[in-house]
Structure 1
């Protein structure tokens, strides 16, 4: 380079430096760009605390726990059929009117006439004279005609006003064709299915809270990146405006810097709105007020395992990839067991049933309202019953056909669930490996992009590069920062899902995308060819589709 060119370059640099120093007061008057930070008094919240709060407040988990309690009740009810049944009873009744009152029963006595004299037993005496014998015979006949023929039943229930009954009933099933055993197996399968459902809901809740927590943390990071980018654009605009004032920059460069700064403002507004939505979703899962101020303290870039071990029914199964240990497969197996027992119950209807029964009772018919111990009389019966179906019009055969069809269907569904679980397990492992690879690949990209931008900024400030180069460096830095944040979030979600995989329903978290990512995929243009996945679409949103 000639001395003339060196002197000219030095003169331009000195003039630019002087203009910058002179314009510092004017630059200080430009509107400042504020970087968002947690509100004062925000509640610190770790991921572990969020998981605990969500479990205590989750209606879904409470419903699953109610299902477990209901299943325990079904088991107790089914087991009761094996044991004898003993019931006690106490009954009292008062007769207001009786058909036996007119017969001189115990319904009430007529006090309008004197009671007839008591008649003794007639005993003929051959030694008496004939006249006396005839008189005694006539008196006996007259007494018999005037006496109450039902007087001997006066202490029986005919027409009694008050009746007390004490009773005990006993029954025991001896044989019912295996119906009781099959009913108990159905109840046990229902309890196992309810327990599996509870574990699945707890695991699903842990995954949902983990995703909501890191979505909120990601939204914080994206807001920070967007605001930092806006601040960089503002700084570039100020530098370009100063350079324009000293005549070193054309008006085109000033307009370009102004447009780039203005294009960044809507993106900052959108990122803040996405952050508010992410925090609202997290607060909803934790049963906190919608406007609760939270400060997430668990770092997004922490690659350690998510603390979800306590949500596992068996910690030994954390991360297990065996298909038979998946919760949906276990539920399908219990469904097959239930249908097998239902078929056994349907077939047991063809067999006879034998039962033993006994009834013991104490009955009293007191003349007053309350009886004494001596008023009670005993009734006690013991019996055995045998029931054999002879003709049911095809009902039993119909029940068997329905049970057989249900069993075939449940077995087919079990095979379907096993195939789906095998594919879902492979998908989860592939996404975990992909998330790890993306996170490792983004490790040094942010530092390199930041270094490249700082160099481009110096080059532009010294006038040896264009604003296009500076803008491209800024875009690359934005993409690198966004890719790193999204990769960290995807890794955390993938690790949590892989750990809880045995307890999760099928297809849970297959997309692994946050609401911000799904929205941006619809609103932004495709990313650059060398970028793939959710991180690329997230980073591309910062550029507004500028390539």
Structure 2
């Protein structure tokens, strides 16, 4: 008889079928494991890359949009949301069948018989089966091969895993609100940094003019001092004012470099940002936006602030967890089934009638005594829900205080801006009068120059208050929880209309 290289033609039919089954189930299990390994490696190789930089001509909205796409902290929290979503899928998997395959090969002596057999893939035991008679003690070892496939299905858990899914869904929703809170924080940081760069640029422009005027005053005073029209004290004071103006300008230039670096940082760039920007958003508009009423501002904050909504979701999560822990007192009912081959690898003898074996049945698990474990877990979850409830109250107090303070600051800033707008007009008028009086030889060039310096100082003060108003407006919108909704329309669809003070019970 012709012999095959692999010896396959000499194998008995039963043994050949058994080896086919072992090879099939082994290959299937290996494929599933390899697929999981490749996916895990792909996830481990994922890195955060940032190749873009913002445009040189930049508006405040462009800066915010860029930061919302590139800030690393937002990427961090987005992946946290993804992790919570994966936990939801894990909890939902209990409602679906669990299927597994297995294969084994080994030596046995004196043989297999009257032995209980357990499917290697499941916790559920399979009833004892009599496969063969016991051999003699002195008989040689018998090679044993097994291949099987099994399925396990949860039938009834009395709401246990339903509460688990709801708990995980609430946790996912809470993580989304924490992400929104970081979005709002980034928006506030970008706006404050953007307007501070605008302020420094404006102050540098004003301080440069101020330095030029101070130098002119110093030179004129020196000339008058040498001509005995001014005292030495007047000249020394003019020189001190000039040195102060120069130091102020140098400080502002250094501060501008630091502020641009901070703007790059809050946009998520670090050292990859530009060294300078042409900012197109004005420091202050002609008509400042008046804050809404105090009660409406507080209502907005209690409704839309993501932090308090996150705690509301955490409170819901702990309530569902309490229900889940209580449900562990109830039984679990499952069904299982298995099919496979078991036989002698030498003789090809199958130990199951018909060449294969099968089993099926159900299982009932009832906790009788756990030493107080379930009661302890339930009480811990209940206390955690009470803790979250106090967290909601704490955030309510904080939000009210933040809104009231931010609104008061905006109103004070607007009053100061209005006052300095009038002061600039008066200083400009004083400069016009000083110019006419100088033309008529009624005042000296020093008096004219001092009028110009006063106008520049007033413009610098106005720019400072305009910056404060813009920064406090951004802080107020942050406290009200409305700014991030304007930049994230998809988030706005989820939040606006779904929450209200009546629904939250605050």
| TM-score between both structures, scaled by the size of structure 1 | 0.64
Deviation (angstroms), 1:318: 11
- 2:239 equivalent in structure 1: 258
Within-5 A mapping of 1:203-242: 203-242=184-223
When residues 393 and 355 of structure 1 are mapped into structure 2, their CA distance, relative to the original with a 3 A threshold, is same
Q: 1:170 aligns with which of 151, 168, 172?
A: 151
Q: Contact between 2:163 and 2:320, CA under 8 Å: does it hold in 1?
A: yes
Query: 1: distance between equivalents of 2:237 and 2:446?
Result: 9
Corresponding residue pairs, total: 398
> CA distance change for structure 1 residues 410 and 289 in 2, over 3 Å: closer, same or farther?
closer
State whether residues 200 and 255 of structure 2, in contact with CA within 8 Å, keep that contact through their aligned partners in structure 1.
yes
Q: Look up the match of 2:143.
A: 161
Residue in 2 aligned with 1:91? Answer: 103
8 Å Cα contact 1:353/1:387 also seen in 2: yes
Shift of residue 399, structure 1, vs aligned partner: 1.7
Return the offset for 1:458.
Answer: 6.8
1:318 and 1:500 in contact (8 A); partners too: no
Q: In structure 1, what is the Cα distance between the partners aligned to 2:456 and 2:140?
A: 102
8 Å contact 1:339–1:406 — kept in the other structure?
Answer: yes
Deviation at 1:57, TM superposition (A): 2.2
Q: 1:290 to 1:227 in 2, by over 3 A?
A: farther
Please name the residue that 1:59 is paired with. Answer: 72
Task: Give 2:320's aligned residue.
Answer: 341
1:67 CA displacement: 1.2
Change in CA separation of 1:375 and 1:356 when aligned onto 2, cut-off 3 Å: closer
Shift of residue 47, structure 1, vs aligned partner:
2.2
Cα deviation code 1:384-421 (max 9, x no counterpart): 22222222222222222212211221112212212222
> Cα distance, 1:152 vs. partner?
10
Kindly state the Cα deviation for residue 65 of structure 1 after the two structures are TM-superposed. Answer: 0.8
Structure 1 counterpart SS, 2:142: coil
**CA RMSD, Structure 1 to Structure 2 (Å):** 3.7
Q: After TM superposition, give the deviation of residue 501 of structure 1 in Å.
A: 4.1
Distance 2:134 2:302 in 1: 83
Q: Secondary structure at the match of 2:109?
A: coil
1:151-187 residue CA offsets vs partner (Å, 9 max, x unmatched)? 9989xx994335141x222222233342201111111
SS of 1:356's partner is: strand
Paired with 1:209 and 1:187, the residues of 2 have a C-alpha distance of 33
Counterpart Cα distance in 2 of 1:268 and 1:301? 20
**Residues 1:328 and 2:341 are matched in the alignment:** no
User: CA shift at 1:446, angstroms?
Assistant: 1.8
Q: Does 1:450 align with 2:463?
A: no
What's the secondary structure of 1:390's corresponding residue? coil
- Paired with 1:433 and 1:76, the residues of 2 have a C-alpha distance of 49
The equivalent residue for 1:356 is: 335
Of structures 1 and 2, the larger Rg is shown by: 1
- Cα 1:50–1:318 change in 2 (3 A) is farther
3-state SS in 1 of match to 2:362: strand
| Residue equivalent to 1:489 | 467
Q: Partners in 1 of 2:286 and 2:165 — Cα distance? A: 45
Cα distance change, pair 435–290 in 1 and its aligned pair in 2 (3 A): farther
Cα contact 1:47–1:213 (8 A) shared by 2 = yes
* 1:303 matched to 2:316: no
- Do the aligned partners of 2:213 and 2:453 also contact (CA within 8 Å) in 1? no
Q: Cα 1:305–1:349, aligned 2, differ >3 Å: closer, same or farther?
A: farther
C-alpha deviation, 1:85, in angstroms: 1.9
CA distance in 1, matches of 2:174, 2:315: 11
- Written as runs of structure 1 = structure 2, the 5 A alignment for 1:99-110 is 99-100=109-110
Contact 1:79 1:184 survives alignment (8 Å): yes
Task: Tell me if the contact between 2:97 and 2:153 (Cα under 8 Å) persists in the aligned partners.
Answer: yes
Distance 1:266-1:412 versus aligned 2 partners, 3 A rule: same
Q: 1:152/1:63 Cα in 2 relative to 1: closer, same or farther (>3 Å)?
A: closer
Contact 2:410–2:472 at 8 Å: present in 1 too? yes
After superposition, what is the alpha-carbon deviation per residue over 1:27-83, rounded to whole angstroms, capped at 9, x for unaligned?
Answer: xxxxxxxxxxxxxxx933332332233223211010111012112111111111122
Runs of 4+ in 1 over 6 A off after TM superposition: 150-154, 317-320, 460-463, 466-472
Change (3 A) 1:299 1:502: closer
Give the 5 Å matches for 1:517-528.
none
Q: Which residue is 2:254 aligned to?
A: 273
- Single out whichever of 179-188 and 296-305 deviates more from structure 2: 296-305
Question: What TM-score results when the alignment is normalised by the length of structure 2?
Answer: 0.69
Question: For the structure 1 residues 197 and 326, does the alpha-carbon distance in structure 2 shift closer, same or farther, using more than 3 Å as the test?
Answer: same
1:92·1:163 contact (CA, 8 Å) conserved in 2?
A: yes
Question: What is the CA-CA distance between 1:275 and the residue it aligns to?
Answer: 1.1
Give the CA deviation at 1:305: 10
Query: CA, structure 1 residues 161+440, in 2 after alignment: closer, same or farther (shift >3 Å)?
Result: same
Post-superposition CA distance 1:231-274 (Å, at most 9, x none): 11111122223333444333332222222212222211211111
